[in-house]
Amino acid sequence: MPTSRQLTPEWRDWIIENLARGCAPQALVEEMVRKHYDRDFAQASVQQLGAHGFAVERAPAAGAYVYETPRLPPGNVVRTHDREVRVALRLARPVVAVLHDVLSAAECAELLRRAAGQLARSTTIDPAGGSYKVVAERSSEGMCFARAADPFIAGLERRLAELMGCPPEHGEGLQVLRYGVGGEYRPHHDYFPPDDPGSVAAMATGGQRVASLVMYLNAVEGGGATIFPELGLEVVPQPGSAVYFEYCNSRGQLDARTLHGGAPVTAGEKWIATKWVRQRRYG
Ligand code: PD2
Ligand code: ZN
């Protein structure tokens, strides 16, 4: 493939956004070269946009995370096009909510049925290189549905998009995970750490993750709560319920207080479905 020397508006925004986020300029150049940009041209583009102060102009406000109106609609009940979701708990800072009736019992069973037999050991993004790796911190198995894979998945995605206050196109594919006894996901952030070189590739499409919805597909016999160590909060899995949290505002600031994990399962198994949404259209 021939190398390119033409900076599209999308790539221009991408450079500005990532410089503003504090990414190393050289990491941006490398990503552009991987996507077939001429190296000298990529170097000059990144340098020029940095030197002109665009990055500073769009940089996240320094200091504490600024809480904006939550993406999750207000009220005791959120009415989506096909379902009434009950709000059981809301936390303002960070924005966390526990939701009931996100999925029906039949939908939980259907997701479980479709995912079973397609599970592979879960991976996480390598902070240095950006590739996906199996790590001890995440001992689950999972699978991912293609977006709008079929009418059933597309219908759920529409509902989740309404709950999460963003277009379905901003969502990553729905993931289903299974944890056996001893399975856990140690505390982490769902956003891509801006200082990790591996985050550049992860954010090249769709930008940063902004919010997560972890839906419980079964009742867990022992353990398996979703924990927020900074908040002293434990959400116990109930089939059809979910925990929602958001961590990236319109300024691109990240809320570190959304640190969370999946506590070890001590009896039975735990099944969840996860939806992550991005700043922009994904994929
Ligand atoms: O399984 C969970 O409860 C859990 C905890 C933390 C899932 C995730 N994170 C995730 O899928 O990001
Ligand atoms: Zn997580």
Q: Which atom of ligand 1 is nearest to the CA of 175?
A: 11
Of all protein residues, the one whose alpha carbon is nearest to atom 11 of ligand 1 is 274
Please tell me the predicted confidence (pLDDT) of residue 269. 97
Please give the average per-residue pLDDT across 33-49, as a whole number.
85
Tens digit of pLDDT for each residue in 116-130? 989 998 877 777 776
Say yes or no: CB of residue 272 within 6 Å of ligand 1.
Answer: yes
pLDDT surpassing 90 at residue 71: yes
Say yes or no: CB of residue 218 within 6 Å of ligand 1.
Answer: no
Please give the average per-residue pLDDT across 163-172, as a whole number.
96
Dist. CA 187 → ligand 2 center (Å): 8
Please give the average per-residue pLDDT across 59-88, as a whole number.
91
Say yes or no: CB of residue 162 within 6 Å of ligand 1.
Answer: no
pLDDT band at 159 (very low <50, low <70, confident <90, very high): very high
DSSP state string for the chain:
---B----HHHHHHHHHHHHTT--HHHHHHHHHHTTB-HHHHHHHHHHHHHTTHHHHTPPPSSSPPP-S-SSPPSSEEE-SS-EEEEEEEETTTEEEEEE-SS-HHHHHHHHHHHTT--EE--EE-TTT--EE--TTB--EEEEPPTT-SHHHHHHHHHHHHHHTS-GGGBPPPEEEEE-TT--EEEE-SSPPTT-HHHHHHHTTT-SEEEEEEEE-S--SEE--EEETTTTEEE---TT-EEEEE-B-TT--B-GGG-EEEPPEEES-EEEEEEEEESS---
Q: In the predicted model, what is the mean pLDDT of the chain?
A: 90
Rounded CA separation 152/154 (Å): 6
Which residue ranges make up each domain of the chain? 77-278
Please tell me the predicted confidence (pLDDT) of residue 59. 45
Q: Which numeric CATH code is attached to 77-278? A: 2.60.120.620
Ligand nearest to the CA of 263: 1
Please give the average per-residue pLDDT across 203-220, as a whole number.
97
pLDDT surpassing 70 at residue 52: no
Looking at per-residue pLDDT, the higher value among 265 and 139 belongs to 265
pLDDT surpassing 90 at residue 8: no
Please give the average per-residue pLDDT across 172-192, as a whole number.
96
pLDDT surpassing 70 at residue 271: yes
Please tell me the predicted confidence (pLDDT) of residue 197. 83
